[in-house]
């Protein structure tokens, strides 16, 4: 009996040792190693999740862009819809009138720009040729580059551009996808304007208890953020376009209205859009009127953008959609790589709304409402 008992005791001890061994080994590791392993595992999971999400977004890029654009336009046009609803206009006619107003503004603006600037394109072509000739003389006179070397470089650039010309079949497919996305966005825009609030109430009806409170608050904050971003960005872009457009008119730069329109569109892509639009304006001024006007245009662009960035944007945007410039650059770059220009337009509002929703949910978890 004692021998059997003695035989059983090591078995039990061995089992405990086998069970507690990995825990003791993990606990015996230095704190820094345990922390590094834990964070590395979490990082791997996050990277894999983001990679899968990116693959899905690429496969469904037209649909994703249409949905993002629809939400952006819905938040932008929501005050117009509410005004029509206060005037006792039914939901469906109010949504239709709001969309027709949007299309009318876009078409009218395009026709106005074309009528005012169509005659200037031929003149601009000649001025660009003169500007290129002056630039060529400047390069060959100040740099150790001969005319033959410059001609060879220009020819290589032309060959590279012609070799990378888009495939007609691929271009037709892209055009069809863009047309389909625009049509889908318009249809979705009508339904969201007409039934968006009832859809949201239906979603809230599927949640119960504290989750409903959190979902309602997160949705409210996210929608407010998207509305603030869309209307604030449009206002800031319009101010940039007016300021730079007036400077171009005063400096006698041709095609001031199209350049102002490019500045307005570039305002919807933070940091990068304004830089590209300003560069286009400076290049046109250089080609048309020479380096002095180009420098004055550069100064005007920098002044307008500094006033907008340091004074108007904090005043208009408040703290609703503040993101660090580094985050904006990463988000815009990622959106451009995934979906091109359309991705650059929608990436920042998506990131801003996502951050505000996550922050709201986290604050509710840290400080839950007291239960009665």
Convert the pLDDT of each residue in 181-216 to its tens digit. Answer: 788 888 999 999 999 889 988 888 888 777 788 888
* Owner of token pair 């005050």: 79
Question: In 3D, which of 336, 349, 351 has the Cα closest to residue 61?
Answer: 336
Work out the pLDDT band at 11, boundaries 50, 70, 90.
Answer: very low
When mean pLDDT is compared across 35-44, 229-238, 315-324, 335-344, the lowest value belongs to 315-324
Q: Does residue 180 contact residue 62 with C-beta atoms inside 8 Å?
A: yes
Reply yes or no on whether the pLDDT at 142 is more than 90. no
Reply yes or no on whether the pLDDT at 6 is more than 70. no
Work out the pLDDT band at 81, boundaries 50, 70, 90.
Answer: very high
CB-based contacts of 346: which residues, under 8 Å, 6+ apart? 65, 68, 69, 72, 335, 339
Reply yes or no on whether the pLDDT at 97 is more than 90. yes
Q: How far apart are CA 100 and CA 106, in angstroms?
A: 10
Taking residue 95's Cβ as centre, other Cβ atoms within 10 Å add up to 25
Q: How far apart are CA 130 and CA 141, in angstroms?
A: 17
Could you give the angle at the alpha carbon of 85 between the alpha carbons of 82 and 89, nearest 5°? 150
The two tokens of residue 172 are 């037709």
Reply yes or no on whether the pLDDT at 96 is more than 90. yes
CB-based contacts of 249: which residues, under 8 Å, 6+ apart? 256
CB-based contacts of 269: which residues, under 8 Å, 6+ apart? 276, 332, 344, 345, 348
Break the chain into its structural domains and give their ranges. Answer: 122-138+210-372
CB-based contacts of 266: which residues, under 8 Å, 6+ apart? 237, 273, 274, 276, 277
Q: Does residue 77 contact residue 188 with C-beta atoms inside 8 Å?
A: no
């Amino acid at each position: 009996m004692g021998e059997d008992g003695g035989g059983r005791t090591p078995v039990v001890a061995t089992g405990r040792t086998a069970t507690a061994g990995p825990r003791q080994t993990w606990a015996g590791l230095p704190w820094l190693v345990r922390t590094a392993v834990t964070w590395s595992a979490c990082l791997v999971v996050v990277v894999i999740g983001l990679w899968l999400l990116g693959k899905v977004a690429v496969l469904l890029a037209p649909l994703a862009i249409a949905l993002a654009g629809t939400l952006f336009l819905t938040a932008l046009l929501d005050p117009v819809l509410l005004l029509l609803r206060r005037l006792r206009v039914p939901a469906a006619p109010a949504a239709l009138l709001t969309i027709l107003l949007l299309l009318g503004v876009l078409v009218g603006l395009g026709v106005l720009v074309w009528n005012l600037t169509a005659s200037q394109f031929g003149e601009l072509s000649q001025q660009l040729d003169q500007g290129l000739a002056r630039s060529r003389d400047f390069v060959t006179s100040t740099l150790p580059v001969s005319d033959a070397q410059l001609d060879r470089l220009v020819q290589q650039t032309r060959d590279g551009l012609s070799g990378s010309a888009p495939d007609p079949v691929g271009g037709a497919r892209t055009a069809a996808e863009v047309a389909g996305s625009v049509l889908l966005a318009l249809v979705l825009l009508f339904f969201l304007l007409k039934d968006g609030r009832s859809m949201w109430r239906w979603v809230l009806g599927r949640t119960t208890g504290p989750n409903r409170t959190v979902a309602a608050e997160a949705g409210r904050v996210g929608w407010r953020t998207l509305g603030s971003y869309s209307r604030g960005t449009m206002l800031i872009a319009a101010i940039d376009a007016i300021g730079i457009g007036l400077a171009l008119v005063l400096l006698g730069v041709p095609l001031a209205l199209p350049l102002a329109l490019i500045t307005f569109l570039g305002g919807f892509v933070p940091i990068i859009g304004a830089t590209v639009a300003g560069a286009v304006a400076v290049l046109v001024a250089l080609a048309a009127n020479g380096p002095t006007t180009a420098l004055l245009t550069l100064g005007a662009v920098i002044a307008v953008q500094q006033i907008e960035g340091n004074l108007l944007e904090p005043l208009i945007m408040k703290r609703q959609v503040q993101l660090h410039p580094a985050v904006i650059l990463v988000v815009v770059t990622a959106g451009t790589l995934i979906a091109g220009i359309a991705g650059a337009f929608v990436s920042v509002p998506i990131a801003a709304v996502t951050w505000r929703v996550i922050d709201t949910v986290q604050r509710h978890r840290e400080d839950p409402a007291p239960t009665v």
